[in-house]
Chain A
């Protein structure tokens, strides 16, 4: 399969080359660090929300947990930006790998699930009232999908057909 020529153009661009080849600690691995921190914020906050929604800590009030969505979306946008930089560094590697598209689809599903959970969380604490039973299935979807995103992201390192344009693994 021939990869489209624009991948070659992108790979030869100054930014792509710099991220990939610079010896600086603030090039490729810095972008990876940001991507990792974003993951920790997003999946970490999902883990806490999931634990609550699945009933591990039933006496934890739900309304204040809305605040955790700050970390969810901060992590999400950190990873959109850092992900774009990683894509610029290795466009052929990502775009010729089916796993990358699986990851993108999973991210889309994950965002829909997260927005639905955010909408359903109560805005104000209802005194004396037990937390409304949110659908456990939604929490399971959230955890499953983001676990899938994480796994697909890791798998990108092991499933690539090309590393660079015209350079197979």
Chain B
């Protein structure tokens, strides 16, 4: 499988996405434009999701490129360190944006503190994504005079950020050096899975017509449980990936799981942004949801179980991909 191309396809998405998001969020302050603000928050959440395959495909690209002559290993490591720092700020921005969207669903606008947090995180994330992009570009197109083997010179921005960037191999070792740390992450991943399936399952089953005596609105207020579970699982999942990057990248079940997660992002977008949610929101006890809502709910459940099943099959499909 050609991860090199996948990485090249995806790697501009986080950078451009975050620049656009920050621009929209800034513009929303003039005249207090709520639609613009909402769009910015949705973009941050969507881009955070897409950053996961971007990050992950980098490992495959790393292995592919390492065989080519004239590629500086130090430049590759520097790019990986930059990505490993930026990733957490991108994910944190996405989480803060989702929280702001959730909290604004009734009041019309999210709390100021929440928006300030999104803004701050998004600006830091944009700078770090810019840095990641630059260090990535340097791998294929080194600066003039910087032949492979010579010391890397940093610009002003780079020299400020560089001390905060982890050493990729050091980060990887940290995750796998202690089996109890690994066991803790796995336990948390299973707890997160249960939170997601519980809350998402209850909401989707009600839409599909199970336990129709339940009103929709209070059930939907269980969603923060699923969001907490998602946060736990994205963090523990990415930490596990950093612990064994080559193992996961060479596994077809892992990529299947990621694909299902991306489709779930699409599923959530269809549910909340096309008016389907608006129609189910006020479902009283005994009321039936529309067919379109039922289809979206059923596909959400199907995709979440695909995530669980393919996640559990990762060990079985070890070394199923060559790159």
* Given A36-B308, A37-B305: A157 in contact with B285 (beta carbons within 8 A): no
Cβ A39 vs Cβ B218 within 8 A: no
* Given A60-B219, A158-B180: A46 in contact with B198 (beta carbons within 8 A): yes
Question: Which interface residue of B182, B198, B222 has the most chain A CB atoms within 10 A?
Answer: B198
Interface residues as binary, A31-46 with B (CB distance below 8 Å gives 1, 0 otherwise): 0110011011101111
Q: Which residues of A contact B151 (CB under 8 A)?
A: none
Main secondary structure of the interface of A (DSSP, over half): helix
CB distance from A161 to the nearest CB of B (A): 14
Among A3-11, A61-69, A86-94, the stretch in contact with B: A61-69
CB distance from B286 to the nearest CB of A (A): 10
Cβ A44 vs Cβ B308 within 8 A: no
Cβ B221 vs Cβ A64 within 8 A: no
Kindly state the separation between the CA atoms of A37 and B312 in the bound complex, as whole angstroms: 10
Interface residues as binary, A45-61 with B (CB distance below 8 Å gives 1, 0 otherwise): 11110010000110111
Chain B residue with the shortest CB-CB distance to A27: B316
Cβ B313 vs Cβ A40 within 8 A: no
Chain B residue with the shortest CB-CB distance to A71: B201
* Given A48-B198, A64-B214, A68-B202: A40 in contact with B193 (beta carbons within 8 A): yes
CB distance from A111 to the nearest CB of B (A): 17
CB distance from A85 to the nearest CB of B (A): 15
Q: Which residues of B contact A164 (CB under 8 A)?
A: none
Interface residues as binary, B208-238 with A (CB distance below 8 Å gives 1, 0 otherwise): 0011011101110110010000000000000
Kindly state the separation between the CA atoms of A67 and B211 in the bound complex, as whole angstroms: 7
Q: How many residues of A contact B (CB 8 A)?
A: 36
Q: Which residues of A contact B179 (CB under 8 A)?
A: 158
Q: Which residues of B contact A40 (CB under 8 A)?
A: 193-194, 197, 305, 308
Cβ B222 vs Cβ A56 within 8 A: yes
Q: Which residues of A contact B218 (CB under 8 A)?
A: 57, 59-60
Chain A residue with the shortest CB-CB distance to B186: A154
Task: Kindly state whether residue B187 has any CB partner on chain A within 8 Å.
Answer: yes
Q: Which residues of B contact A32 (CB under 8 A)?
A: 312
Task: Kindly state whether residue A13 has any CB partner on chain B within 8 Å.
Answer: no
Q: Which residues of B contact A104 (CB under 8 A)?
A: none
Kindly state the separation between the CA atoms of A59 and B196 in the bound complex, as whole angstroms: 21
CB distance from A95 to the nearest CB of B (A): 21
CB distance from B77 to the nearest CB of A (A): 31
29 CB contacts below 8 A, A to B, read A32-B312, A33-B308, A33-B309, A36-B190, A36-B193, A36-B308, A37-B308, A40-B308, A44-B194, A44-B196, A44-B198, A44-B201, A46-B194, A47-B194, A48-B199, A51-B199, A56-B222, A57-B218, A57-B221, A59-B215, A59-B217, A60-B214, A61-B215, A68-B211, A125-B213, A150-B187, A154-B183, A154-B186, A158-B179
Interface set of B (CB-CB < 8 Å, partner A) = 179-180, 182-183, 186-187, 190-191, 193-199, 201-202, 210-211, 213-215, 217-219, 221-222, 225, 285, 305, 308-309, 312-313, 315-316
Interface set of A (CB-CB < 8 Å, partner B) = 25, 28-29, 32-33, 36-37, 39-41, 43-48, 51, 56-57, 59-61, 63-65, 67-68, 71, 125, 147, 150-151, 154-155, 157-158
Closest 3 CB pairs of A and B: A44-B198, A47-B198, A43-B194
